[in-house]
Amino acid sequence: MPAVFSRLRAVALAVLAGLTVASCGYNDIPTLEESAKAQWAEVENQYQRRSDLIPNLVATVQGYAKQEKDVLTAVTEARAKATSIHVDAADLTDPEKVKQLQDAQNALSGALGRLLAVSENYPDLKSNQNFLALQAQLEGTENRIAVARKDYIAAVQAYNTELRTFPGVFWASTFFRANKPLAEFVATPGSETAPKVKF
């Protein structure tokens, strides 16, 4: 009979230990880190979607606005630069690398804005079905980028907060010493000021 009690006691202790570890927050750091990395992958996915739309948009505009070569070249160059900078999950703790990517993507957004503004000068282009479809897809992608970035920011905030608050700070200082806070997106300088519109 004592052997049965001994086994039951061992099983009870194992279950209790498992419940204690599961509820103590040990798994929160890796779980939140993986969530932030998944959100970052979605940001990259949306940037890639936008990048894939640009050659078709440039080709469509080029057919109507040959004299806008400077704008078309600027968009092509901005796309090349934006796609050359890659930030993978391992780089998310380096704010400088994230800033480089963000700056390149902001430059691409600016070049696209200029390209779409040029289209206002060409009524035939503005009524072209291919251009309208590409413009709608690009607008949808810009919205998806904004949502993906918002979700990434929220995931990073949860992860970084877990590293700094109890019980996460205990786990971060013992078992997860290699885990560093992840970089956040920073607003583009001047974005807090509304743009001036001239008519």
CATH number assigned to the domain comprising residue 102: 1.20.1440.20
Q: Indicate whether 94 belongs to any domain.
A: yes
Show pLDDT as tens, one digit a residue, over the chain (199 residues): 577 777 778 777 766 666 565 567 889 999 999 999 999 999 999 999 999 999 999 999 988 887 788 899 999 999 999 999 999 888 999 999 999 999 999 999 999 999 988 888 888 888 889 899 999 999 999 999 999 999 999 999 999 999 999 999 999 999 999 999 999 887 776 655 544 534 3
Instruction: Give the pLDDT of residue 21.
Output: 56
Instruction: Give the pLDDT of residue 124.
Output: 87
Q: Indicate whether 179 belongs to any domain.
A: no
Name the residue range of residue 99's domain.
27-174
Q: Indicate whether 189 belongs to any domain.
A: no
Q: Indicate whether 16 belongs to any domain.
A: no
Going by C-alpha positions, the residue among 181, 63, 75 that lies closest to residue 130 is: 63
pTM listed for this prediction? 0.79
Q: Indicate whether 135 belongs to any domain.
A: yes
Going by C-alpha positions, the residue among 79, 77, 97, 100 that lies closest to residue 89 is: 97
What sign results for the dihedral spanned by CA atoms 150, 154, 155, 156? positive
Q: Indicate whether 73 belongs to any domain.
A: yes
Instruction: Give the pLDDT of residue 154.
Output: 96
Instruction: Give the pLDDT of residue 146.
Output: 95
Q: Indicate whether 65 belongs to any domain.
A: yes
Q: Indicate whether 89 belongs to any domain.
A: yes
- How many domains is the chain partitioned into structurally? 1
